Chain A
Amino acid sequence: MTNAIELDHVTKIYRRYGGKQFATLKSALLQRSILRDLQPSEVFSALNDVSFAVRSGATYGVIGRNGSGKSTALKLVAGITKPTSGRVRVDGRVSALIELGAGFHPEISGRENVFINGIMLGLSKREIQNRFDEIVDFAELREFIDAPVKTYSSGMYMRLGFAVAINVDPDVLLVDEVLAVGDEGFTHKCLDKFAEFRRKGRTILLVTHSLGLVEKFCDEALWIDAGHARESGDPKRVVDAYLTAVEHTEESQLATTTAKAVEAHGEGKDPATAAQPVPPVPTPEGRWGSREIEIVDVAFLDRAGAPGFVFHSGDPVSIRMRVRARQRVDDFVFGVGLFNADGICCYGTNTGLEQMQAEQFAGDGEVTFAIDSLDLVEGTYKVDVAAHKHDGYPYDYHRLLYTFRVKSRTHDVGIYRPHHRWAFSAGIRFKP
């Protein structure tokens, strides 16, 4: 099997020229700095020793964070920029869906633009003539094809650009996140077109943030992170590795925000001053209470008991509070509330509501609220924890100070996910 695309130890360094905005020819000549100004003062390596090969006829996905170098890789394959070092080899005619409708002239009609754009992309006039109807039908612009392009909506503009580019009939198609082009229907048409390409044995290089698309469509995938190729091979494995890394970053981000929130709300405060004339109930976030019982520390624990901030839907999760009572207390209630990003309370409960009668507590202790299965949809959640008297008098109330994130492979919606399964009668079948 031959390779349609090969990148061999490719490095791309972008140079930033010193004080570029102010470098003028005159000053460059006056200060005899023309040679110096043309030297890079700052370099940024967008790709660092990246190698990969795409088999001819394969669909290859490239994923990664914004600014990781995905698009640079695509531009190198397209030949728009040259690698600083290394080698790029591409076999066959390339069409790049990078910027749709680049080079459309707003004043002239869609028809004329189709011709000129087609020629720019390497078609001959005759080839365009033959495919013209197909292009126009694909773009769904038959009525408007003779109107100047400046009157098109941005969706129409993109559709026409897409239709021309896809009809170039390339051996290698480069796609950069262009499926956000049209409405649902058009997106499906584009996907169908890609599928047709695959059937014809053409090679597709796809740069996208849509991980589902990569898993569904691609034969192989590559994850680029900060200019380095991190993982390549089976799409499912690469996507998983990528997701895990994203979770790690989110974990550390959430840990920081939580630490900040807790710190901002009176860790070190003297209990006496903290015991303000208390209950401003609908405050956005904060901490108040008389601190006869103090919640010293709150943590989210996963299945293994390790603290974390990112969990998967359906995982067991425990909210553990470390509490301390300086003196013996015999009237207390512990409570927990979960709120989603819209501020809607997904669930709230406390020991009082659940008919637990307080007897006594003194010294240090731990309260754990264990959830067997975290049946929430994907999103970020904030947590209230509280210790208060039965009548509501707060000992220590932490409002929305803690954040965790729920991840889910199914992008279901709503506030919570009831534990469920589907059942179908014999006549209803799904693809395996």
Chain B
Amino acid sequence: MLANLANLLRYRGLISSLVARELKARYRGSVLGFVWSFVNPLLLLLIYSFVFTTILKNNTAGIQPYALFMFCGILPWTWLSTSLAEAAGSLIAGGNLIKKVLFPAEVLPIVSVLTNMVHFFLGMPILILFLVIYRRPPDPWDLIWFPVAVVVQLVFTTALALFVSALAVHFRDVRDILANVLTLWFFATPIIYPMSLEAVQQYKKLFDMNPFTHLAVSYQEILFYQGPIGHWKWLLAIGGVSIVLFLAAYWVFDRLRDSFAEAV
């Protein structure tokens, strides 16, 4: 397992070119091309702004402008959820490679995660732009924590992606289960409501058990809330958990590896 893990570093050229290929292929044939990566989050943000300032006014104190608050959580959530949904199908879709070519299978779910990370990064400038427009620029000192949060989420997402993709080879309905679990998970995480909500505080212990709670809150503190980061201990703890999770997921993946070529 450790040898395979070390091999992963050797595949970085392969991984980066596959990520580049996914990104290129994603917009190939469209007129706007790469611009869509900016336009998509922009339109989403405009829709949220309109809905929550005009139609369904959300006046909860402390999270104004609400659309921006929500967006701080939605961007990383989209990275996680889309990565997992894509990773679940990645081994099956790449079956030809696994069956016919000597190909390191773990590259496929990792490519799904990294491709969506790039989309996440492309959405960030839009968010920052609006934060500046609304005169709530994030504190530069807070932003030091941003890379930490990204790395933690990267490890966390990769761990889950490896696990889900390996399982989906043997149980095709993992993909459907996953879609529903993700919906539940989304609403169980303080993304469209703040952690400070009274109802949330009531069940704080439960919320604390949800790893993505701490990621979402960290992003919100880094980008949205003014003032110092209070959540960094949780963030680092989740980082530690993620590393353990990653090793466990990789172990499972490695154990199932030989069955892929036959079961895909």
Contacts and interface: CB of A to CB of B under 8 A. Distances in A.
A105 B94 CA distance: 11
A81 interface: yes
Interface string A14-38: 1101000001111010000000001
A25 B173 contact: yes
B22 to A, nearest CB: 8
A30 B177 CA distance: 14
A98 B100 contact: yes
Contact of B177 (A25, A107, A116): A25
A26 B180 CA distance: 14
A119 B97 contact: no
Nearest to B98: A80
B25 A105 contact: yes
A103 B99 CA distance: 11
Contacts of A102: 96-97, 100-101
A382 B169 CA distance: 51
Interface in A89-125: 94, 96, 98-99, 102-103, 105, 107-108, 112, 115-116, 119-121, 124-125
Interface string B145-168: 000000000000000000000010
A107 B26 CA distance: 9
A78 B97 CA distance: 13
Contact of B101 (A14, A24, A80): A80
A148 B103 CA distance: 23
B258 interface: yes
A99 B96 contact: yes
Contacts, number: 76
A32 B18 CA distance: 39
A112 B20 CA distance: 10
B21 interface: yes
Interface string A217-242: 00000000000000000000000000
B17 A23 contact: no
A320 interface: no
A376 to B, nearest CB: 42
B245 to A, nearest CB: 20
Contact of B14 (A28, A99, A119): A119
Given A25-B174, A81-B258, A107 B102 contact: no
A79 interface: yes
B17 A119 contact: yes
A15 B18 CA distance: 32
A43 to B, nearest CB: 12
Contacts of A25: 167, 171, 173-174, 177
Nearest to A21: B172
A55 interface: no
B140 interface: no
A80 B261 contact: yes
Interface in B7-28: 13-14, 17-18, 21, 24-25, 28
A154 B102 CA distance: 23
Nearest to A25: B171
A78 B100 CA distance: 9
Contacts of A98: 100-101
Given A80-B102, A103-B103, A125-B13, A14 B25 contact: no
Given A108-B25, A116-B17, A119-B14, 12 more contacts: A15-B262, A23-B171, A25-B174, A26-B177, A80-B98, A80-B101, A96-B101, A98-B100, A99-B100, A102-B101, A112-B21, A125-B17
Interface of A: 14-15, 17, 23-26, 28, 38, 75, 78-82, 94, 96, 98-99, 102-103, 105, 107-108, 112, 115-116, 119-121, 124-125, 148
29 contacts: A15-B262, A24-B172, A24-B173, A25-B171, A26-B177, A38-B170, A80-B99, A80-B261, A81-B261, A96-B100, A99-B96, A99-B101, A102-B96, A102-B97, A102-B100, A102-B101, A103-B103, A105-B21, A107-B24, A108-B21, A108-B28, A112-B21, A115-B17, A116-B18, A116-B21, A119-B14, A120-B101, A125-B13, A125-B17
